[in-house]
Structure 1
């Protein structure tokens, strides 16, 4: 893709622009709404940050499509509720699309917890070519382009640990109340196989930490949204790590599970997922 570097740089700029908007509302007075359940939260800051990301991208690629976490309407038709035709429900198999999560970790955001991120991924023909995860309250911008991955300009590299008993591994994703047994089983599998467990509260931040070596792996045994995963998966791979599904097959945006690691004991991460699903 001839403009992959351009798109990767724009993903960084758009993530930073959206994150600045969200940061202005952080720890302020927030009107919090729920979506699918009591813990699936959204605020006006999510929508405002998303709008800024979209506006930043459209300055340079006005005809590109988007896959967005939050609902949108056309600028000209909020009264009619007409949906924006450039906003797609899923990542297309061909052509360019931008995948946006304006605040990944909204539950952290509304609690005043600093670990939340604005995430933007440029995708071409179903594969990411550039991604950025900006953590405004922590001051870090993780990014990956066609050949490299960085944190604030410094090269990212996954951890070099090879002994699973020294690994810190994060179970990620969300389970409905009726599926909490599977979540408990996953936590048990992680604790049983690895040295320690983390629960970050932001899927994209978790994957960025795997890419940066702060975590050695992450496991999700249920389907996940592309806005929660694509940016971080690209970073982990560009930083030298491995990302598959729970069967050990190469992860794609439509996979039904996700296993990310530094690549040194990936089979153990897959086995933890298998234990949880058994």
Structure 2
């Protein structure tokens, strides 16, 4: 159930060390992307017109991979771009990378984008880092604590849905069978303020810091759009489940994240 942690005997043995590598790797990728931010870029389209990629994404991913392999040369790395591994291994240590989460923001000069790196063991996160370089924010989590620019943070304490700010994490209006307008309507009737920031990992980091009270999407997210942020929230005291209220893991249906106090109301709105 949603409050129960999974078991993995070696999980956390080197969470602190891997958190350090995740931070350095995410910073390396973020620095590479920031150097090209608001410059001239060729923008390519992927799955749909709003799903874009640039050479900055590829450069940042290479920088992240190099930094991870400097510390863990034999670990597999899952990455969003090009021919990188796409499936998280069932067993053993691995890394999950999104070099620029929020590329659609990035190419428009919007500063809400980030580089995210997660360290996992047996598909379960033990550490992660999300860097928003244009905003000067660095979120880092090990297996028990989340920090923003070095200071420990926690999810909000807000419990009244009418006063809560909730964000969707992913845009799914282009997908068949998912009624985006209906879901947004339910959220709007249940909660005081609805947002969408254009970067799933940045949004999840905001939940971890209490800047946003909750976030959700009914569709199954890619691992690079979710795992780091899930770890940030859990280590900050929050709750993350699928749309049925079961503990979220890679491949779960949807993603529902909150400070815990608002979780049941959020689940009702997402079902």
Q: Give distance in 1, aligned partners of 2:188 and 2:99.
A: 31
Quote the offset at 1:225 in angstroms: 0.3
Cα deviation digits, residues 94-141 of structure 1 (max 9, x gap): 101110000000000000000000000001111111100000000000
Matches within 5 A, 1:67-216: 67-72=78-83, 87-175=84-172, 177-179=174-176, 182-216=179-213
Q: Give distance in 2, aligned partners of 1:151 and 1:100.
A: 19
Instruction: Check whether the contact 1:147–1:238 (CA below 8 A) recurs between aligned residues.
Output: yes
Instruction: Name the residue aligned to 1:79.
Output: none
Instruction: Check whether the contact 2:214–2:262 (CA below 8 A) recurs between aligned residues.
Output: no
Quote the offset at 1:224 in angstroms: 0.6
Q: Give distance in 2, aligned partners of 1:109 and 1:180.
A: 29
SS of residue matched to 2:221 = coil
Cα deviation digits, residues 20-75 of structure 1 (max 9, x gap): 00000000001000111111100000000000000001111111101100013xxx
Q: State yes or no: 1:55 paired with 2:76.
A: no
Instruction: Check whether the contact 1:242–1:260 (CA below 8 A) recurs between aligned residues.
Output: yes
Q: Which residue of 33, 55, 73 corresponds with 1:44?
A: 55
Number of corresponding residues: 260
Q: Give distance in 1, aligned partners of 2:135 and 2:218.
A: 28
Instruction: Check whether the contact 1:117–1:134 (CA below 8 A) recurs between aligned residues.
Output: yes
Instruction: Check whether the contact 1:171–1:186 (CA below 8 A) recurs between aligned residues.
Output: no
Q: Give distance in 1, aligned partners of 2:183 and 2:169.
A: 10
Q: State yes or no: 1:64 paired with 2:61.
A: no
Q: Give distance in 2, aligned partners of 1:118 and 1:160.
A: 27
Segment of structure 1 superposing worse, 34-43 or 169-178: 169-178
Cα deviation digits, residues 206-242 of structure 1 (max 9, x gap): 0000000000100100111000000000011110110
Segment of structure 1 superposing worse, 106-115 or 174-183: 174-183
Q: Give distance in 2, aligned partners of 1:177 and 1:142.
A: 31
Quote the offset at 1:88 in angstroms: 2.7
Q: Give distance in 2, aligned partners of 1:200 and 1:178.
A: 19
Q: Give distance in 2, aligned partners of 1:46 and 1:180.
A: 30
Quote the offset at 1:89 in angstroms: 2.4
